Chain A
Amino acid sequence: MIKNIPKHNSPWQLKDNQVTDESVYRSRRSFLKQLGFVGASGLMVKNAEAIDWFSKKEAASFITQPLDFKKSLVSDEILTPEAKVISHNNFYEFGTKKTDPVENAQQFKVKPWQLTVSGEVGQTITLDHDDLYKKFPLEERIYRLRCVESWSMVIPWIGFPLAELIKKAQPTSKAKYVAFETLYDPEQMPGQSSRRVGGGITYPYVEGLRIDEAMNPLTLLSVGLYGKTLPAQNGAPIRLVVPWKYGFKSIKSIVGIKLVEKMPPTTWNMLAPNEYGFYANVNPQVDHPRWSQASERRITTGGLLARNRIETLPFNGYGEQVAHLYNKMNLRKHF
């Protein structure tokens, strides 16, 4: 349970005397590395057993592997426990309930995989599964993730800057925007084959960034979290992480990155343009019709009684790094 969150000044910088799951995970990580291999988390296996009392079949779980990467400087934020990060997901391709993806994505196949960078580029690039982990040096980034539904987490991602990949493709002068696309595979993703499961959004899921947003050093292509490759439900094998924007911008299981001249369509914006804008910068001043965005509930440890409501910061606290991208823009209009 979280105690002593002061009402004002920067609670996200708080140190807590309770176990920050970080120390636990750092020691565990070295242990996992020694093992050299780790199956999907024990939590999921246990869950499956509890539900599947009467069936004898072994639930095959999605396999994650330890990664080599440059560690992040120690963060003074309380991390969201791994078990929560990998069991509370908005990934409608695997169902609309937060617990659906962890249940429905365990059979997801990421090998073979192909990520193509194309469009307004000097050189089209194709990365296969192994390239995702080898072409660029991997580093850890501990980022706040702010969902538009006004909850948030703190997650140690592993990945490389999107800018590195884009530079390699040599964008032309016409490359003004970057369009992203999730895998379309209704056989593997039940939400894409059934409107009931998939919540009635249009697939494949697409997202977009302006080129300067995409080239910002904060913008990460993530291939892992908590020291290991991404679990399927978190967007394996590769996903976007744009920490100053609402979570739905951070598209999962990407197969296509296309540099384009015109602002590309984005999934939630197409569904409800008055609710979800193209920019979707975290902005406590602009409410979503459904949720106040002035504050958020930070999901860490602690159950129902945790006092975890904190103020939301402009650009999710990354204003110093990104506010200049939006000089002269009316962010109420371009929400």
Chain B
Amino acid sequence: MVLKHKQQKKLVIRLKVFIHLISLWLLSNLYYQAINDKLGADPVEAVLHFTGIGAFNLLLLSLLISPMAKRFKLSWLLKVRRLTGLYSFVYALCHVLSFLAFEVQFAWELFVDEIIKRPYITVGMCAFVILFALAITSLSRLKRKMGQSWQKLHNGVYLALSLVSLHFYWSVKSEIIEPSLYAAFSLYLLYLRRDKIKAWLN
């Protein structure tokens, strides 16, 4: 499908508006319901699960964009990749802040303890730090300034993806089927980029 330049521009704007609306609407609806105790018996657990899996879904989506663009020759799709990635970060931020504010309820010592002692939280936190670095360096101006090191840094998303898969897998008690499917899909996305990753590792 080859679109004219103007049409493409329109489409990209519409898609961006859609991504903004749906991501923000889901989040605000989540917190509205949770604060008003309409999210089941334990709104804290509900919020943590929703923001966590939401961040993972958005991360997968952002990494699905370039293979899709290549495969179906939709280069304009790449224009929404950054936004999708940023929303993955926003959801991850909500996930971490909700853990701090509502799960451990600002018991800082417990917060730090949990990050250090629980392997699934440790790897999750590492992934969050990476996403944080990617988010703050996502401005076009910074990208230009950073030159080659920008790409190097942003390849860190593959590491983040692996850590997030592990975080999900380790966080469940016994129900490993869902996290296994997520991990398999993550591996597939990494496999598509095997040459790039090999080069990056060398």
Contacts and interface: CB of A to CB of B under 8 A. Distances in A.
Interface of A: 80, 83-85, 87-88, 92, 96, 98-99, 151, 195-196, 199-201, 271-272, 287, 289-292, 294-295, 297, 299, 301-305, 307-309
Given A195-B177, A305-B35, A88 B104 contact: no
A88 B114 contact: no
A309 B103 CA distance: 8
A303 B42 contact: no
B103 A297 contact: yes
Given A302-B37, A303-B38, A304-B37, 5 more contacts: A199-B175, A287-B117, A299-B42, A303-B34, A304-B39
A88 B43 CA distance: 11
Contacts of A200: 174-177
A307 B42 contact: no
Nearest to B113: A292
Contacts of A151: 42, 45
B40 interface: yes
Interface string B103-115: 1110100100110
B188 interface: no
Interface of B: 31, 34-45, 47, 102-105, 107, 110, 113-114, 117-118, 120, 171, 173-177
Contact of A98 (B42, B117, B173): B42
A307 B34 contact: no
Contact of B107 (A92, A295, A305): A295
Given A295-B110, A309-B104, A309-B105, A303 B43 contact: yes
List the 5 shortest-distance A-B pairs measured between CB atoms, nearest first.
Answer: A88-B41, A303-B37, A84-B41, A304-B34, A199-B175
B117 A307 contact: no
A309 B118 contact: no
Contacts of B44: 297, 304
B43 to A, nearest CB: 5
A98 B41 contact: yes
B83 to A, nearest CB: 27
9 contacts: A80-B41, A83-B41, A99-B40, A200-B176, A290-B120, A290-B171, A297-B42, A299-B41, A304-B37
Contacts of B103: 297
B40 A301 contact: no
A88 B39 CA distance: 11
B117 A304 contact: no
The winner among B34, B42, B103, B114 for most chain A CB atoms within 10 A is B42
Contacts of A291: 118
A98 B36 contact: no
A195 B103 CA distance: 30
A192 to B, nearest CB: 14
The winner among B34, B39, B171, B174 for most chain A CB atoms within 10 A is B174
A295 B103 CA distance: 11
A304 B41 contact: no
B41 A87 contact: yes
A151 B120 CA distance: 19
A307 B40 contact: no
A88 B46 CA distance: 11
A122 to B, nearest CB: 39
A98 B118 contact: no
B137 to A, nearest CB: 32
A81 to B, nearest CB: 8
Nearest to A294: B110
Nearest to A85: B41
